[in-house]
Amino acid sequence: MVSFILCLLPALLATTSAQTIAPATLTCNTCFGLTETCDTAVGTCQDNKATGGCLSVAEDITLDGTRTPFFYKQCLSSYKSDIKIPISFTVGNGKYFRINITQCNDTDNCNSAVLGVPKENATVNGLQCPTCFAQNFSVCNTQTIPCTGDETYCMDFTGYLVKDSGISAFVGKGCATASTRDIKPETTLISAVYRYVFLWGNSVPADKIPTIPPPTSTTPANTTIPPPTSTNPANTIKTPPTSTNPETTRSGASPALGKFSFTLYLPGLTGLLLVKLLS
Q: Which domain holds residue 36?
A: 23-208
Residue 226 lies in a domain: no
pLDDT greater than 90 at residue 223: no
Where are the extended beta strands (E) located within the chain? 25-33, 40-48, 53-61, 68-76, 87-92, 95-104, 124-135, 143-148, 153-163, 166-176, 187-190, 195-205, 207-208
When pLDDT is cut at 50, 70 and 90, the band that residue 39 belongs to is confident
0.75 exceeded by pTM: no
Q: How far apart are CA 145 and CA 132, in angstroms?
A: 10
Res 8: pLDDT: 47
Residue with the larger pLDDT of the pair 83 and 89: 89
Confirm whether 225 is domain-assigned: no
Residue 240 belongs to a domain: no
Is residue 115 in some structural domain? Answer: yes
Per the model's pLDDT, the better-predicted residue between 23 and 39 turns out to be: 39
d(Cα 128, Cα 174) in Å, to the nearest integer? 9
Half-sphere exposure of 46 (CA within 13 A, CB side): 3
- Report how many domains make up the chain: 1
d(CA 63, CA 128) in angstroms, rounded, equals 20
The percentage of residues in the chain with a pLDDT greater than 90, rounded to a whole number, is 37
pLDDT band at 124 (very low <50, low <70, confident <90, very high): very high
Given a contact cutoff of 8 angstroms between Cβ atoms, the answer to whether 56 and 36 are in contact is: no
Residue 42 lies in a domain: yes
Q: Which residues contact 73 (CB under 8 A, 6 or more apart)?
A: 28, 29, 30, 31, 32, 38, 54, 55, 56, 57, 111
pLDDT in tens, 160-216: 999 888 899 999 999 999 999 888 888 888 787 788 889 988 999 999 999 876 666
Among 7-21, 216-230, 260-274, the range with the most confident prediction by mean pLDDT is 216-230
The answer to whether position 215 is within a domain reads no
**What does pLDDT average to over the chain?**
77
Q: Is residue 60 part of a domain?
A: yes
pLDDT at 172: 93
Ranking 18-32, 61-75, 136-150 by mean pLDDT, the lowest is 18-32
In a domain, residue 220? The reply is: no
Angle at the Cα of 63 (from 58 to 66), degrees rounded to 5?
Answer: 85
- pLDDT band, residue 83 (cuts 50/70/90): low
